Amino acid sequence: MAEIVGGVFTSHVPAIGGAIARGLQGDPYWKPFFDGFHPVHRWLKTARPDMVVLFYNDHGLNFFLDKMPTFAVGAAGQYHNADEGWGLPVMQPFPGAQDLSWHIIEHLVASEFDITTCQKMAIDHAVTVPLALAWPGANNRPVKIVPIAINTVQHPLPSPRRCLALGRAVHEALRSWPGAHRIAVFGTGGLSHQLDGERAGFINKEYDRFCLDHLGPDPDALCDRSAIDIVELAGSQGVEILNWIAARGALGPDVREVSRNYHIPISNTAAATMLLETSAAFSRAA
């Protein structure tokens, strides 16, 4: 039976990928952010996941405003990266956990989620940057992935509560997966930021800390507001917290916080990293 070992939640700013490519991890501007991944690296060496289910938002490689699914699940054998125009190196493909993808898809449909199934899916910086942060090295591919895209761009947006329910349905699917695998869950994006318009550069430290404080022990508290409320609180791109909420649901009810890091700003973004361990993992460690 598969084991869900824990979750990594982190920002996916394209500039982070540029810093990795230029070797700027020790630069004073970047070091406070990259230092937040030292506990994640130590934990991953112990937890040893071989599959990652990753909740993110697509930035135009697969979907644009004319066709934007609310939820889309990758079911490919491998996932190719492509040039997005940020000047980031195009990364080698990531292997897909195809059997697990179909298991999740079947469970979600049976749970009455109307999802888009993608047997071919390109991945952008929202996937490649977090994986490169977790496992440094341009060609380091220690895990197979299942990418799950959430619409955080085209209104109407899914509600936070619906995203949490999606994650909890994924948790049910993972718990019923018969393979003897160790699965980590990633949630990427945010925290508060707005890249354009009159509020460009907007950051809300109070709301960010509320999210960090409640994500582990009380994720339902993040669902008391609508997606539109979150846009107001966190900025038009800060609504990417929906990815974190869904990923938190996929971990199950009982988690403990292993580490967190919060740094302002990274490219006009409140950058954060949080590591949560599941009850099964910390019970085994005890």
Which are the catalytic amino acids?
125, 193
For tokens 């888009």, the residue is 116
Which residues, other chains included, contact 2 with Cβ-Cβ below 8 Å and sequence gap of 6+?
Answer: 51, 174, 175, 177, 178, 179, 180, 181, 182, 183
Q: For 283, phi and psi rounded to 5 degrees?
A: -70, -40
Which 8-state DSSP code applies to residue 24?
Answer: -
Whole-angstrom distance, CA of residue 118 vs CA of residue 71? 11
Q: How many CA atoms lie within 13 A of 150 on its CB side?
A: 29
- Specify whether the CB–CB gap between 194 and 14 falls below 8 A: no
The pair of structure tokens assigned to 235 is 């900025």
How many other C-beta atoms are found inside a 10 Å radius of the C-beta of residue 161?
A: 17
What's the alpha-carbon Rg for the chain, to the nearest Å? 17
Angle at CA of residue 262, ends 258 and 264, nearest 5°:
170
Which residues, other chains included, contact 178 with Cβ-Cβ below 8 Å and sequence gap of 6+?
Answer: 1, 2
Which residues, other chains included, contact 159 with Cβ-Cβ below 8 Å and sequence gap of 6+?
Answer: 223, 226, 227
